[in-house]
């Protein structure tokens, strides 16, 4: 049987001993398709397997993708685009959407979550804001009626720009103008058991102020870190500080137990002249070091015993995304299925979940994919800066 170039690429990863360890079950990938040169979904399956990803997040519910991943065991988050929110208030339209985009693929494809809209609250669009929670409630009600609510949760993904205070992490607080809007959403999440999703990009904090923000701090490299004077907790990387600021904001509104998942984070391998830090080497360090941390089951300083549920952005470089050059270069993979850069994860022991010196072989990862319709560009507001001397 002749192998496609994508199957061959994945096979090379496997026989080279550089597949991501299966123990890193929390690793997720954003799979977007704003491009005209991406491989078919059938060819994407071996690529996702080659990097050991067990979770995939879409920005739509592309039936080609969902069919291709049937019976693979990969967990899927499917997306309901911003443009559909107003229509979901109609129970008949909500039922039709769930039946066509979720129920039709179960149980063969393991769909576990629906994201209703993306970063709605920071669009400053009153209509979208007003339609968000009713759409979430409508979709959830349909799932209940179909007996699917225990398997499929409903939530929405937020930009980190919903925070008004982000430093120190212990003082994290939501924007005052959004509190009345976000509190009912948090009540919904808590009542239905759905996680709180946040998109966080330390890259933007570094890009905005590279002279003040230490590069090692944002890339998970060894550094002196910073102490939160409010909690006396020590932070050695910005992403964990961002996550804990969200936990603090949730606690301030009475939602201390609500789980936080990172629905997007990543680092571009290429950018414009003014996009400081957008290089293959930095992308390799950011994503490689992040995945090493997840393999250690290391929580944040504020939640040391909580698993890190993180979706890396993104699977492919997408050549039709608008905006600066970085927008088209977040991928772990190039469209031809070759790595955008090697992640160089070495010697993570699968059985003990520890790093074993000299175990040989590097884990070469390639970025997860972004979505097809629900997003167009990454807001720089998602990279709020937490570091101060």
Instruction: State the catalytic residues.
Output: 119, 264
d(CA 124, CA 369): 27
- Note whether 336 and 38 are within 8 A (CB): no
d(CA 345, CA 52): 12
Q: What three-state secondary structure class fits 348? A: strand
Which string of DSSP letters, residue by residue, matches 20-89? PPTT-TTEEEE-----SSPPPHHHHHHHHHHTT--EEE-SS--HHHHHHTTTS--EEEEEE-GGGTGGGG
Residues β-bridged to residue 161: none
Nearest C-alpha neighbor of 294 from the set 237, 337, 247? 237
Nearest C-alpha neighbor of 34 from the set 330, 350, 385? 330
Instruction: Report the largest interatomic distance among the alpha carbons of the chain, rounded to a whole angstrom.
Output: 62
Q: What is the dihedral of CA 250, 252, 256, 259, to 10 degrees?
A: 10
Q: What three-state secondary structure class fits 200? A: coil
3-state secondary structure 205-257: HHHHCCCCCCHHHHCCCCCCCEECCCCCCEECCHHHHHHHHHHHHHHHCCCCC
Measured in degrees and rounded to the nearest 5, phi and psi for residue 316 equal -125, 155
Any residues with CB less than 8 A from the CB of 249 and at least 6 apart, and which?
163, 165, 172, 173, 174
DSSP H or E segment with residue 185: helix 179-192
Using CB atoms within 10 A of its CB, is residue 299 exposed (0-12), middle (13-18) or buried (19+)? middle
Q: What is the CA radius of gyration of the chain?
A: 20
Place of tokens 């996550």: 243
């Amino acid at each position: 049987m002749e192998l496609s170039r994508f199957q061959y690429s994945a096979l090379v990863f496997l026989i080279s001993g550089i597949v991501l360890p299966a123990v890193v079950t929390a690793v997720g990938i954003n799979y977007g398709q704003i491009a005209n040169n991406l491989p078919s979904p059938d060819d994407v399956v071996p690529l996702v397997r080659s990097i050991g990803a067990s979770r995939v997040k879409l920005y739509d519910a592309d039936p080609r993708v969902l069919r291709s991943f049937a019976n693979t065991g990969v967990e899927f988050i499917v997306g309901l685009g911003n443009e559909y929110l107003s229509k979901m208030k109609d129970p008949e339209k909500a039922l039709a959407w769930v039946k066509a985009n979720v129920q039709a693929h179960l149980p063969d494809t393991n769909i576990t979550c629906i994201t209703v809209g993306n970063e709605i609250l920071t669009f400053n669009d009153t209509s979208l804001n007003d339609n968000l929670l009713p759409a979430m409630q409508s979709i959830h009600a349909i799932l209940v009626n179909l007996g699917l609510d225990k398997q499929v949760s409903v939530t929405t993904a937020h930009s980190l720009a919903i925070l008004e205070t982000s430093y120190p992490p212990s003082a994290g607080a939501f924007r005052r103008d959004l509190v009345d809007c976000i509190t009912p959403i948090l009540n919904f999440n808590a009542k239905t058991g759905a996680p709180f999703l946040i998109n966080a990009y330390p890259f933007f904090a570094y890009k905005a102020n590279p002279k003040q923000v230490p590069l090692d701090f944002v890339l998970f490299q060894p550094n002196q870190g910073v102490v939160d004077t409010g909690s006396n907790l020590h932070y050695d990387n910005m992403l964990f500080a961002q996550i804990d600021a969200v936990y603090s904001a949730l606690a301030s509104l009475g939602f201390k137990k609500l789980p936080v998942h990172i629905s997007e984070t990543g680092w571009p391998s290429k950018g414009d002249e003014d996009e400081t830090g957008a290089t293959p080497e930095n992308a390799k360090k950011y994503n490689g070091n992040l995945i090493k941390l997840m393999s250690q089951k290391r929580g944040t300083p504020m939640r040391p015993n909580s698993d890190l549920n993180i979706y890396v952005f993104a699977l492919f470089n997408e050549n039709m995304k608008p905006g600066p050059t970085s927008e088209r270069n977040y991928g772990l993979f190039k469209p031809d299925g070759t790595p955008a850069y090697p992640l160089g994860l070495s010697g993570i022991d699968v059985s003990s979940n520890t790093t074993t010196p000299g175990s040989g072989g590097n884990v070469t990862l390639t970025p997860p994919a972004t979505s097809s319709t629900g997003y167009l560009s990454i807001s720089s507001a998602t990279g709020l800066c937490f570091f101060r001397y």
